[in-house]
Structure 1
Amino acid sequence: MRVLVLTPHYPPRHGGTSDYTKRFVAELRHRGAVVQVVTKEGGNAEEPDARTFEGPWSLRSFGWFHRLLKEFGPDAVVVQYGPYSFNKRGPGLPVTSLLVALVSLHRVPLLVYGHELYSPWRESLLRAPWGVAQRLAVIALIARSRSFIVTIESRRSRLVRLLPWWRRRINAISVPPTLSDEPIDAAWRNARGVPDGVLLVASMGVDDPTKGADSLAAVADGLADAGVQARVIAVGGLQSHSPRVEAWGYVSRSDAWNLVCAADLFVAPYSDGVSARRTTVVNALMAGSAILTTDGVNTDPRIFSPEALALVPAGDTEALVRRAVELSGSVEELARLKRAARDLGLREFGWDAHMSRWTRLLADVTGDIRQGR
């Protein structure tokens, strides 16, 4: 089987989509597939298995992609989709138009993995046209794809209710961990100057309002006001305006993994609730972190329960702060949450289960990829 993977990000470019795609491609190759990767950002001499196309991902570049498909001859095209990832000025429609034209001409099956589908526009009616365009792009991709995969069941259910005639092609596959293959450095915490007795609070990927940057700052302030000795460290794209939140920016995979493993408490203050689309939370589960997060519209209670995570209502910053202070004083509860998180991660989010779902989908499309290892 020959698979063309189109992605906005690939190593050495940092990010969840980048890390996921790298591992996904390796798993496909392990199962006998021949894979060609084309990325908008990333790919260089260190990543020779990826071609970089920095031009517009739109119909203006149809000729380049048309030649690529003729040369490679894929049996399937897999797209790692985010509406604003391929073109900053296009709300998903430019890349969608390109994909629809290509797979229609070449008659090749299209499978879309929707890491993000659309952003809310509640904060301003001026955002409404942008939001409508993002939703039209999703509908067009579902209409033309052989399988449109989202990362959480609640989102799949909403799409099926909206588009019931396409229910068979709308699927849900949770994201797996992207960092768990990194080794654990037992000396990492002390090497970074975090002594015993100091509460190490970690967070990752809180670089926009929906991911809780303001709430994380409130947690840091609340711990300080309660007299808790703590260091609050966030990695990723966050530019912190709080003196109590150390924003380390993008770090190596090793540092990101060891931060999560060494943390006493991992805080994920999402405004839309914890869900299976957040690789940061999945990584924290696999690391066995004590996780404080939110219960919101995207939270699947069958997976994320109070037994495994410390949950507060999404959007309730005061409750988040109170729970963080409570946990800081309970070694026993932190230890229980760590055990429960690890058990949940192994049960729901392992790579074997993830790739089993993908290989079944690809087999349905082409009938030509080995199942399992």
Structure 2
Amino acid sequence: MPAPSPTPTWHLLTGEYPPQRGGVSDYTRMLAQALTRAGQQVHVWAPGDTGAHLDGDVTVHAIPGLLTPLGPARLTRELDRCPGPRRLLLQYVPHAFGMKAMNVPFCAWFATRRQDERWVFFHEIVYPWSPRDRLRHQVLAGTTWVMARLLAQGLDRAFVSIPAWTRHLPANVQPLAEWCPIPSTLPVDPAEAAIQQVRTALGPGPWLGHFGTYAPSITGILEAVLVPLLRAERQRKVLLLGRTSREFAQALVSRHPDLTERVVARGALPGGDVAAHLAAVDLLVQPYPDGVTSRRTTVMAGLSLGCPLVTNTGHHTEPLWRELDAVALVEGTATAPLVQAAERLLSNPTERLQLGERAARAYREHFALERTVERLLRPGPSSREPRS
């Protein structure tokens, strides 16, 4: 009987890792540590200047110039010093790999690294193309399409954060791409004392809440929903969370000075504090121009904490959101239905409580970090021939 094959060592390749900020940074660290808790040996390779060091049980290799055209040569030497077999898991987001999101050399290097298992997690995949775009945006769209095709050559496994990304992969890889939702990158169990402390500091409500990046594509919808909700009842207030929440709050009250005393922003906070603040609000309002999806860590944060939440569908929304009944889901981005859904929940505490309970249950069963680790550790399809 042949001896069992040795377990590959995991090598996570990422464009960002703490102390660098970013969603992929937080996700990669969380995933690496979860894999070590599952008994796996894990290395992380990222840009940086601190060299090799331990982050808990994870070995982090912070390499200067990793994502420059000369970086892959050094990465090859360093990887070859690590005992085999090796499993490379690339956390792919085009803009996280520098070179103005057009790092073709790094993708070409990964495509030729045939001596190792090669897995890619496509958090995002291509820049959207439109014939009306500026030339530089069309060049970016074409280049990111080429990069995705390079990465897909002969992969052992491919994962996508939303099923919609699959259509950008080669036809032979599309049936093999596995949907792997992104879990919350915040603590999922803030202390009750911390939540109560936030509620005391905020004072009476009811409190609406929003957590996000306040991108222009979102803030227009968000403002159009929050303003009528706040004006409908003088006791209502809104808590804005996220790094640029203060800037959005200032812009909001400058346009609506009557709401100045009822808009509170906390700016950048540690993850545990963000979780405690989210858990303290009565209702989260999370609109998205392309619809709620399983790659939105801001909505996952609310689900994981059992927060009642109003959001909307869009062209990227997966059918699962309608099936789970874990959020108050409005069709499309029209603001009037979002306002109506929020009003219904604000007037019905029992319905809010039940919605929060369904949210927490759906998160545990479908989106939690444990589900991600289960997907990665179980056998999956491969798009290339077995090694001899």
TM category, shorter: 0.7 to 0.9
The question of 1:233 aligning with 2:240 is answered yes
Q: Which AA in structure 2 matches 1:220?
A: L
Sort the Cα spacing of 1:169 and 1:301 in 2 relative to 1 into closer, same or farther, 3 A.
Answer: closer
CA-to-aligned-CA distance 1:169-212 (integer Å, 9 cap, x gap): 4221122232245532434354462113x1222222333245x1
Are 1:85 and 2:96 matched, yes or no?
Answer: yes
- What is the 5 A alignment of 1:1-373? 1-40=8-47, 47=55, 49-55=59-65, 57-74=67-84, 75-87=86-98, 89-101=100-112, 103-104=113-114, 107-122=115-130, 124-126=132-134, 127-156=137-166, 158-159=167-168, 163-191=170-198, 193-196=201-204, 198-210=205-217, 212-228=218-234, 229-238=236-245, 239-240=247-248, 241-243=251-253, 246-305=264-323, 307-361=325-379
Asked if the contact 1:274–1:294 (Cα under 8 Å) also holds between the matched residues in 2, the reply is yes
Residue 29 of structure 1 deviates from its aligned partner by 1.6
Report if the CA contact (8 A) 1:12-1:43 is conserved.
no
3-state secondary structure, aligned to 1:260: helix
Alpha carbons of structure 1 residues 286 and 123: separation in structure 2 relative to 1, 3 Å: farther
Report the Cα distance in structure 2 between the residues aligned to 1:195 and 1:209, rounded to whole angstroms.
30
Question: Does the aligned pair in 1 maintain the 2:54–2:60 contact within 8 Å?
Answer: no
CA contact 1:204–1:236 (8 Å) conserved in 2: no
Q: Which secondary structure state, in structure 1, belongs to the residue aligned with residue 193 of structure 2?
A: coil
Alpha-carbon offset, residue 62 of structure 1: 2.4
- Contact 2:286/2:311 (CA < 8 Å) preserved in 1? yes
Q: Residues of 2 paired with 1:39 and 1:348: CA distance?
A: 29
The 1-side partners of 2:216 and 2:181 are apart by 23
How high is the TM-score relative to the length of structure 2?
Answer: 0.82
Counterpart residue type for residue 65 of structure 2: G
Q: CA 1:310–1:17 in 2, change beyond 3 Å: closer, same or farther?
A: same
Separation in structure 1 between the aligned mates of residue 42 and residue 294 of structure 2, nearest angstrom: 26
Q: 1:353 offset after TM fit, Å?
A: 2.5
* Contact 2:157-2:380 at 8 Å conserved across structures: no
More displaced stretch, 274-283 vs 116-125: 116-125
Whole-Å separation in 2 of the counterparts to 1:270 and 1:89: 25
Question: How many pairs were matched up?
Answer: 357
How far apart, CA to CA, are the structure 2 residues paired with 1:43 and 1:16? Answer: 21
One-letter amino acid matched to 1:225: R
Shift of 1:13: 3.0
Q: Is this contact kept in 2: 1:177–1:282, CA < 8 A?
A: yes
Task: Rate the CA distance shift 1:119–1:185 in 2: closer, same or farther, 3 A.
Answer: farther
Report if aligned partners of 2:131, 2:138 keep a CA contact under 8 Å in 1.
no
Write the deviation string for residues 112-147 of structure 1: whole angstroms up to 9, x where unpaired.
111111233559511222112112211211124221
Separation in 1, partners of 2:60, 2:131: 38
Give the 3-state SS of the residue equivalent to 2:95 in structure 1.
coil
Q: What is the alpha-carbon distance in structure 1 between the residues aligned to residue 159 and residue 190 of structure 2?
A: 31
Q: Distance in 2 between matches of 1:235 and 1:47?
A: 25
Change (3 A) 1:46 1:259: farther
Amino acid at match of 1:112: V
The Cα shift of 1:344 comes to 1.2
Q: Which ranges of structure 2 fall in alignment gaps of 5 or more residues?
A: 1-7, 254-258, 384-388
| RMSD, aligned α-carbons | 2.9
Distance 1:110 1:169 in 2: 14
Percent identical among aligned pairs is 24
TM-score, structure 1 as length reference: 0.85
Distance 1:338 1:10 in 2: 32
Whichever residue aligns with residue 362 of structure 2, its letter is L
Residue of structure 2 in register with 1:369 after alignment: none
Which whole-Å deviations, capped at 9, do the CAs of 1:81-132 have from their partners, x for residues lacking one? 101012051335343133224x14xx11211111111233559511222112
Change (3 A) 1:13 1:43: farther
